[in-house]
Amino acid sequence: MKVEDILRNKGTRINMVRVHETVETALRLLKVENIGALVVKDVCRTEGNTVVGIISERDVVRGLVDQGPGILKQPVSALMTRNPITCTPSDPMERVLSLMDEHSIRHIPVLDGFTLVGVVSVRDLIRLQLDQTREHLQPAAA
């Protein structure tokens, strides 16, 4: 199975935050959407929407421990991971799993060239595994 298969089943909605929004704004989006990470975009007039990073719950927790609650008023750029690990729609799921394991991450933006087309999360991979298990356990049709 390839990343594009996951995205097809998942839908096209991508949760994002702009680079200059506050960490508190990002946390509110994470809560409302019940997700663990947001793609960080920079909107430039000359370059269009550009993926500049990713911010996760883990980034915020580390920021709070290191810098205290004042970090919530800082821009997302203060905590985001710059140049995030990415994959392409044609990558096999095994590569995505390897990237997640190798880099200890749970979310990978999917780029088609320079265009963001989705995000694959560990939750998506768990859902895929459960679906495959359920299919395998279903009795064959007569």
Residue ranges of domains in the chain, CATH in brackets = 3-137 (3.10.580.10)
Q: First and final CA of the chain: distance in angstroms?
A: 27
pLDDT of the residue at 128: 84
Contacts of residue 72, defined as CB under 8 A and 6 or more positions apart, other chains included, come to 22, 23, 24, 27, 64
State the Cα–Cα distance between residues 117 and 14, nearest whole angstrom: 8
What's the confidence (pLDDT) of residue 131?
80
Crossing angle of helices 122-137/3-10, nearest 10°? Answer: 90
Digit-coded pLDDT (tens) for 28-76: 999 999 999 999 998 755 455 678 999 999 999 999 999 999 999 999 9
Q: Which stretches within 17-142 are classed as H helix?
A: 23-33, 57-67, 93-103, 122-137
pTM of the model: 0.85
Nearest Cα neighbor of 37 from 46, 47, 27 is: 27
Q: Is 117 helix (H, G, I), strand (E, B) or coil?
A: strand
Burial class (CB in 10 A: 0-12, 13-18, 19+), 75: middle
- What mean pLDDT do residues 113-136 have? 87
**pLDDT bucket at 133, cuts 50 / 70 / 90:** confident
